[in-house]
Structure 1
Amino acid sequence: MARTRVSHPIFARMFERVSVRMDEAGVAEHRRRLLAGLSGRVVEVGAGNGRNFPHYPAEVTEVLAVEPERRLRDAAHRAAADVPVPITVVDGVADALPAADGDTDAVVLSLVLCSVPDQAAALAEARRVLRPGGQLRFLEHVRAERPGGLRRTQRALDATIWPLLCGGCHTGRDTVGAIEAAGFLVVALDRYRFPETRIPVPAAPHALGTAVKPT
């Protein structure tokens, strides 16, 4: 499959700054939870500027970090040099991962399934590279749990301006449903809002969890 060029230079500059502030506001703890207990060989899809890298436990022997956006990939290279876990940052996209079939102990998807063109294709690739029993760890913007005003707002923004401003991000995707439809078994799931404001913002609903490729 031919790789599609990805370039969002304005969003990438903004994200580099915003991701630091988000981590300081509490996202760093969610990243730690996302990666806790991992070991062996890991593929991280959509590694961005490498904000997950400091949170990989020592039991991880290798991380293949895939990032298609050039500016963010350059930042990820710099971040990889500052952590003890061996991390190789490469160019690539979610629906054509540069990894062999069944060669990976875990796949990490962190704030990426909201922006991929085709969730089903990306999840099929994650399933392909995982060994039987391997883990899919995910931390994603998701559709609001309950029907109502927030879901309607998400749909309206996703159909208009939000993806244009936010590097292809969609706030209202049923990502947990897509993971299950791809043949994974969800074994742990935490739904929460971040930021926790009185009036929820469209990108506030999140899902953090673990799914397993059946043996």
Structure 2
Amino acid sequence: MTQPIKPHPLFARFYAKLAGPALEKAGVAEHRRRLLADLTGEVIEIGAGNGLNFPHYPPEVTRLVAVEPEPKLRALAQERALGASVLVEMREARAEQLPFADASLEAAVVCLTVCSIADPHAALAELHRVLRPGGQLRFFEPVQADTPAMRRVQRALDATVWPRLMGGCHTGRDSQRTITNAGFTLTTVDRFNFPESRIPMPAGTHILGTAVRSDQAGTR
């Protein structure tokens, strides 16, 4: 049974006008380029937002299926897609229920997205399903902090205000474990702080890397 898509209009406006530009100013474009470098063939990106990744896809990508459930962000992404160097197909869908056939795509991208999905385990299992055997997953996500003290801060924020203010985003999810539990085998993982700051930030710890679809699906 398909669940309804819940819009987040206030967060969409905040992200498009403030949060997105702030990330670009902090240097996120370089991480986007690293994330998408050398991709080829038919690719799916879930949580495409307002399309800030689109300019960084290499021309060897023959088709980009960009999934975004939030109506305002999807409309902005559609406008940005018109100027992209790759063919972009915008789709309205939830990451937990992707309207694509099994083993139909060559690569998948999650960028600052797993942190905000209602059921990240289901979403990664869906990506595993739609990727061909050996298909690649590219990920760039905020994750659990390195220190116990900051992890306590993350748990407190995630249980109270942060998801409400940030469109469902959680600061302290163990997205790397979620990826492997879905049946992916990690091939590269770079762990770093972003944005660079002298003051530790609850959402500052990130991972960027690649994984491949294993033959067997993971466990929920």
Is this a same-fold pair by TM over 0.5? yes
Q: What residue number does 1:158 align with?
A: 158
Q: Which residues of structure 1 form unaligned runs of 5+?
A: none
Q: Matches of 2:113 and 2:191 in 1, distance apart? A: 17
Counting aligned pairs with the same residue, the percent is 54
- 1:61-72 matches, within 5 Å, as 61-72=62-73
Residue 206 (structure 1) aligned with residue 195 (structure 2): no
- TM-score (norm. length: structure 2): 0.95
Task: Give SS of 2:211's match.
Answer: strand
Q: Name the aligned partner's letter for residue 101 of structure 1.
A: D
Q: What residue number does 1:133 align with?
A: 134
- Kindly indicate whether the alpha-carbon contact (under 8 Å) linking 1:3 and 1:92 is maintained by their aligned counterparts in 2: no
| 4+ long deviations beyond 6 Å | none
RMSD value, Cα: 0.9
Query: Which stretch shows the higher mean deviation, 22-31 or 166-175?
Result: 22-31
Aligned length: 214
Q: Which residues of structure 2 form unaligned runs of 5+?
A: 216-220
Q: What residue number does 1:75 align with?
A: 76
Deviation at 1:127, TM superposition (A): 0.2
- 1:37-116 matches, within 5 Å, as 37-116=38-117
Deviation at 1:145, TM superposition (A): 2.6
Residue 191 (structure 1) aligned with residue 182 (structure 2): no
Q: Matches of 1:183 and 1:84 in 2, distance apart? A: 32
Task: Give SS of 1:114's match.
Answer: helix
Deviation at 1:22, TM superposition (A): 1.1
- After superposition, give the CA deviation of every residue in 1:146-200 in whole Å (9 maximum; x if it has no partner): 3x21101000000000000000000000000111111110000011111111121
Q: Name the aligned partner's letter for residue 116 of structure 2.
A: S
Q: Matches of 1:54 and 1:64 in 2, distance apart? A: 14
Task: Give SS of 2:114's match.
Answer: coil
Q: What residue number does 2:15 align with?
A: 15
Q: Matches of 2:43 and 2:145 in 1, distance apart? A: 29
Q: Matches of 1:126 and 1:4 in 2, distance apart? A: 20
Q: Matches of 1:45 and 1:4 in 2, distance apart? A: 17
Q: Matches of 1:149 and 1:37 in 2, distance apart? A: 38
Q: Matches of 1:38 and 1:99 in 2, distance apart? A: 20
Q: Name the aligned partner's letter for residue 75 of structure 1.
A: L
